[in-house]
Structure 1
């Protein structure tokens, strides 16, 4: 029928969406605790409190630690990224229109994922001193103070700590000798897709923290740009499962692709969709600071 799309067209498109979302979409998704395939609009992430060791008398009863158990709610929201592909336009252009739409939609959903994670990170009550950027030494000490503030909360130095910086904050750090020279950098991998030495370098390991550049941090380009540092287990991200005849591209979760022929428009509507949500699991595992993104780079 003229109103149907070929199976090959659908399969090709779905594969394009999967690869693009994984490679070019979200930068921060691998840096948080993830639950995929959620059925429904909400889920919970579990948090267990600290225990305290005690003594007991010989043959006496051990005092239970009674660690707190907290269920952190996470609400999922639905997002769509679609556009039209005119049947005759495909014959008039020298670009792969379907690939372009797949790319744009996948990237849009990836950015939305990061927006949700950044919003959840920003709800922390933990703050560090604002960065001073008047000299290279001041920038270095500001970064050290931020790391120290996180470690002071008993956050483990296990290679799963991340920091998101604006492009200007990244430039400030690049004036610091210890940050830009490989002699001072770590070589961890931990299975992360974006670390030093990976095909696409997104994070630089320094002082036990994976520092990354992200243009989506709040206030980028202003005098009160937000800087974020967190442990992976402190933030949760959940994605919903897709059912019915909508073919999921990630084993039943994350991003789904759908192509529909509209005869009255002589066009296909190419759509990506996802259901996802982020939440703050442990407030003490996140540190927030600010930097003046309008300041000039120091010369000494």
Structure 2
């Protein structure tokens, strides 16, 4: 099987385009969680510093260590791949710069797929790590999600002494997003988020100290029929380490008269602080009503 290199003009042009698509349209959760402190070999690491209390000092008494539970949390790097073929005549001659529409579609598809895989990994960490009982779990039963339910989520996180400094996030599926916006107190231009890393990719609101935003329904876990779980979390509750965001390789297969595209990204995700996440279980078959 004969192989040759993709022309330089083609590799340069489309690698840059793929990187842009990956950052702009994929990985919407990347900026909402904590980056790794460092990466060693094939493992990402985060440093944790526990919560300590000051104690009264008494003359002549030995000091008591705070025992704040400092430590390091590590997670192995995973590699994600998007692979496809671009046949010569499907793309109106592969080496023709004026007929590369097919390759542009493939790059866009691959970039979006890799971005979504990173988002799903972060959502998996939230789903695995968030409580399913106790103060940080709310089950609405058959009651529709609304602004009051959103505020209850906030109160539960605040009660856990989670910092309320603008670094709290809550992605919502389409139904809950529109139910939240049905409240006049939320649906105001005063609350439109401006500083989120994905503000041009989805709708956002900064309300009650939380960055609320719309995320595709496909990312949310379904624990039972007509139910889905959503998560309110502080940025430092989950770690994400994008070690290698995107690498792209093109190879010409003379025997099959096509190009093969191999797109790879690598990263790690880990739960850092369970108390920094609130899980809300909401019905997925309720109506949207204006408040």
Decide which moves more: 278-287 or 220-229.
220-229
Structure 2 stretches lacking a partner, 5+ long: none
For 1:249, the equivalent position in structure 2 comes to none
For 2:242, the equivalent position in structure 1 comes to 239
For 2:23, the equivalent position in structure 1 comes to 22
Structure 1 SS opposite 2:186:
helix
Structure 1 SS opposite 2:15:
helix
**For 1:284 and 1:71, how far apart are their aligned partners in 2?**
17
**For 1:94 and 1:6, how far apart are their aligned partners in 2?**
14
**1:165-184 maps to which residues of 2 (within 5 A)?**
165-183=172-190
Cα deviation, residue 180, structure 1: 0.7
Cα deviation, residue 41, structure 1: 3.1
Query: Is 1:277–2:268 an aligned residue pair?
Result: yes
- The alpha-carbon distance between structure 1 residues 271 and 37, as it changes in their structure 2 partners (threshold 3 A), is farther
Match among 225, 228, 244 for residue 225 of structure 1: 228
Structure 2 SS opposite 1:46:
strand
Cα deviation, residue 221, structure 1: 10
Structure 2 SS opposite 1:33:
coil
Cα deviation, residue 9, structure 1: 1.3
**For 1:5 and 1:37, how far apart are their aligned partners in 2?**
35
Structure 1 stretches lacking a partner, 5+ long: 241-252
Structure 2 SS opposite 1:149:
helix
Match among 115, 132, 142 for residue 149 of structure 2: 142
Query: Is 1:114–2:119 an aligned residue pair?
Result: yes
Preserved contact between residue 143 and residue 282 of structure 2 (Cα < 8 Å):
no
For 1:98, the equivalent position in structure 2 comes to 103
For 1:151, the equivalent position in structure 2 comes to 158
**For 2:77 and 2:113, how far apart are their aligned partners in 1?**
17
- The alpha-carbon distance between structure 1 residues 75 and 293, as it changes in their structure 2 partners (threshold 3 A), is same
Q: TM-score, normalised on structure 2?
A: 0.87
Cα deviation, residue 60, structure 1: 5.9
**For 1:155 and 1:141, how far apart are their aligned partners in 2?**
20
Q: How many residues align?
A: 280
Cα deviation, residue 43, structure 1: 2.5
Q: TM-score, normalised on structure 1?
A: 0.84
**For 1:47 and 1:57, how far apart are their aligned partners in 2?**
30
Preserved contact between residue 131 and residue 137 of structure 2 (Cα < 8 Å):
no
Preserved contact between residue 164 and residue 217 of structure 1 (Cα < 8 Å):
no
Q: Deviations over 1:234-285 (max 9, x none)?
A: 1001233xxxxxxxxxxxx211111111111111111211122211100000
Structure 2 SS opposite 1:178:
coil
**For 2:99 and 2:276, how far apart are their aligned partners in 1?**
50
- The alpha-carbon distance between structure 1 residues 299 and 213, as it changes in their structure 2 partners (threshold 3 A), is closer
For 2:131, the equivalent position in structure 1 comes to 125
Preserved contact between residue 217 and residue 226 of structure 1 (Cα < 8 Å):
yes
Preserved contact between residue 222 and residue 294 of structure 1 (Cα < 8 Å):
no
**For 1:50 and 1:36, how far apart are their aligned partners in 2?**
19
Q: Deviations over 1:43-94 (max 9, x none)?
A: 2222111111012234765443232113223122221112111122221797
**For 1:36 and 1:21, how far apart are their aligned partners in 2?**
23
For 2:197, the equivalent position in structure 1 comes to 193
Q: CA RMSD in A?
A: 2.6
Cα deviation, residue 95, structure 1: 6.5
**For 1:8 and 1:288, how far apart are their aligned partners in 2?**
49
**For 1:36 and 1:17, how far apart are their aligned partners in 2?**
27
Cα deviation, residue 288, structure 1: 0.6
- The alpha-carbon distance between structure 1 residues 69 and 177, as it changes in their structure 2 partners (threshold 3 A), is same
Preserved contact between residue 134 and residue 298 of structure 1 (Cα < 8 Å):
no
Decide which moves more: 148-157 or 36-45.
36-45
For 1:247, the equivalent position in structure 2 comes to none
